[in-house]
Homo-oligomer: A and B are copies of this chain.
Amino acid sequence: MDHHTPPFDPSGFRRALGMFATGVTIVTARAGDGTPVGMTANSFNSVSLDPPMVLWSLAKSARSLPVFHAAEHWNVHILANEQNDLANRFARAGEDKFAGLALETALADAPLLAGCSARFQCRTVFRYEGGDHIIFVGEVIGFDRSEAAPLLYVSGEYALATRLSQPVATAANASNDAPAPFTEELLGYLLGRAHYQFMWGFQRTLGELGLSHGEFFVLSLLAVRAGLDAAEIAAHTAYTGIAADAGLLETMCARGLLVANPGPATRYAPSPAGQAASRQVLAAAYAVEAALVEQLGAREAAGLRNLLKHLIRASDPGLPMLWAANA
């Protein structure tokens, strides 16, 4: 931990404040001459349930301060996770922020934007002193919400939220006498268990087709990139630790799963039977995936794919591109 007591630098203070995650809102009002104003703010907060009240704060230096100061009504829009472009647009000064935006009918004069996770239409009840900001407290005169996942702002970056999981198998940890040499927090354990459990979901299909994991990997690889030679197949699969060597390729030819096209280097492709087997396994894998996404929720599945990509990029041993076009 870095500790700071005053005088402290504003960037350190801002970084510490950034550890408090927030949603992202756009607050809008209308000037006396009818001009719509709006700005991105993450200083929103609920205050009171009865009467219903919310607050947000605005820099005293903000160009729109006079408008919000004079406005009787303002609307708070909680942005959905696809609205990061809108958040960026309303965070910048000096352009016509409302250009091309369809406004919806509001209870009062403040502009009402579409496509948000929730909206609060408010009437100013208090304006409070807050250092270099003014705190606006409004009574909520109308609100709505949608199912759109909200956009987040954490440590200066847009982010997605995913629910916190229950532990997998730690319930009885405390009752062990000696501490275990590793726990379920080891990423390698979680990756292995998640991966094998996923494959277990279509293991029966592999069994019915008499396919080993190595044979399945080779068929999947050649389904995307037919015509690789033994050295190329090895380059694509060596990192699995499962030998896809000349012996395996010969066996697969003998079993009628592959055809070998002789040349300077023998090139392999799935036979019609190999293609059929590959399609059957893939269909089973997609069924496993669909069932898991259903249980996990689309938001969590999107988050998991996102993080696995981060990890794969971070740990890539220099694999050839699987989906790259042949040179």
Give A residues with C-beta under 8 Å from B: 1-6, 8, 10, 12-17, 19-23, 25, 43-55, 57, 78, 81, 84, 107, 117-118, 120, 126, 128-133, 135, 137, 139-146, 150-152, 154-155, 157-173, 175-176, 180-188, 190-201, 203, 206, 213, 220, 223-224, 239-241, 278-279, 282, 285-286, 288-289, 292-293, 295-296, 299-301, 303-317, 321-325
| A20 near B20: Cβ-Cβ < 8 Å | no
A6 to B117, CA, bound (A): 20
Task: Tell me the minimal C-beta distance from A326 to chain B in angstroms.
Answer: 9
| B152 near A21: Cβ-Cβ < 8 Å | yes
A288 to B239, CA, bound (A): 15
Q: Provide 14 A-B residue pairs closer than 8 Å at the C-beta atoms, listed in order of the A residue.
A: A2-B144, A4-B144, A5-B142, A6-B52, A6-B141, A16-B118, A20-B22, A44-B45, A45-B55, A48-B131, A180-B224, A188-B288, A191-B194, A288-B315
A220 to B200, CA, bound (A): 20
A50 to B10, CA, bound (A): 8
A130 to B53, CA, bound (A): 7
| A48 near B145: Cβ-Cβ < 8 Å | no
A321 to B209, CA, bound (A): 31
| B142 near A313: Cβ-Cβ < 8 Å | no
Contact partner, A128, options B25, B135, B278, B307, Cβ 8 Å:
B135
| B49 near A10: Cβ-Cβ < 8 Å | yes
| B199 near A241: Cβ-Cβ < 8 Å | yes
Which residues of chain B are near A139, meaning CB under 8 Å?
Answer: 131
Task: Tell me the minimal C-beta distance from A276 to chain B in angstroms.
Answer: 12
Highest count of chain B CB atoms <10 Å: which of A20, A131, A185, A188: A20
Q: Looking across the interface, which residue of chain B has its beta carbon closest to that of A170?
A: B323
| B184 near A323: Cβ-Cβ < 8 Å | yes
Known contacts A144-B4, A181-B282; is-contact A78 B19 (Cβ 8 Å): yes
Contact partner, A152, options B51, B142, B161, Cβ 8 Å:
B161
| B164 near A160: Cβ-Cβ < 8 Å | yes
| A312 near B166: Cβ-Cβ < 8 Å | no
| B165 near A196: Cβ-Cβ < 8 Å | no
| B182 near A2: Cβ-Cβ < 8 Å | no
Which residues of chain B are near A304, meaning CB under 8 Å?
Answer: 187, 190, 304, 307-308, 310-311
| B158 near A164: Cβ-Cβ < 8 Å | yes
| B187 near A1: Cβ-Cβ < 8 Å | no
| A181 near B224: Cβ-Cβ < 8 Å | yes
